[in-house]
Amino acid sequence: MICLDSDFVVDFLKQNQNAIFKLQSLKGEKAVSTEINYFEVLYGVFDKKQISQKELNSVQEFFNSIPNMTLDHSSAYNAAEIATNLEKSGLEIGINDSLIAGICLANNCAILTKNSKHFSRIKGLKVETY
C-alpha cells in the first residue's frame, strides 16, 4: 500500500507526466491517501483569490476515488512521537507531515512524495519519490 502525498496529488491533477507515469507504474499496489492530504489540497484551492469550481470538483472526485486513511489513536500516538522527537533534534517537519507520517506508520504504508527531505527523517517510514 502506498500513500499519495499532497504534492503528488496536485501534480497528478495538473497532469504532470512524472506523476502520471509513477502512478501507472504502481499497478497492483493499492494507492491511498489521508484526510490530512485532502485538507492540504483543498486548502490550496480555497487559498486562491478566485476559487475554481472545476479545480474543486477535480480534487473532490480524486479523493472520493481512493481510500483515505484517517487519524486514529495509533496514528495520533505515532504523529506526536514523530513531531516531538524531530523537534528535539532540530529537524521538525511540521504538524501536518507528522500527522501524515503517523497515519502511514500505523497502517504499514509507504508514502509517495516529492518531499523526501522531510519524510526520510522518520524512522521506519518507507519513502518513494517521482
Q: What is the CATH number of the domain that holds 74?
A: 3.40.50.1010
Calculate the alpha carbon distances from 13 to 19, 29, 51, 122 in Å.
Answer: 9, 20, 16, 27
Contact 32, 100 (CB under 8 A): no
Q: How confident is the chain (130 residues) per 10-residue block, as mean pLDDT?
A: 98 96 92 98 95 94 97 98 96 95 98 94 95
Measured CA to CA, the distance from residue 3 to residue 38 in angstroms comes to 12
The pLDDT score that the predictor gives to residue 98 is 98
The pLDDT score that the predictor gives to residue 32 is 98
The pLDDT score that the predictor gives to residue 28 is 86
Measured CA to CA, the distance from residue 9 to residue 30 in angstroms comes to 15
Calculate the alpha carbon distances from 30 to 36, 68, 89, 124 in Å.
Answer: 18, 11, 34, 19
State how many domains the chain has.
Answer: 1
> How does pLDDT run across 76-112, given as a tens digit for each residue?
999 999 999 999 999 999 999 999 999 999 999 999 9
| Range(s) of the domain holding residue 67 | 2-128
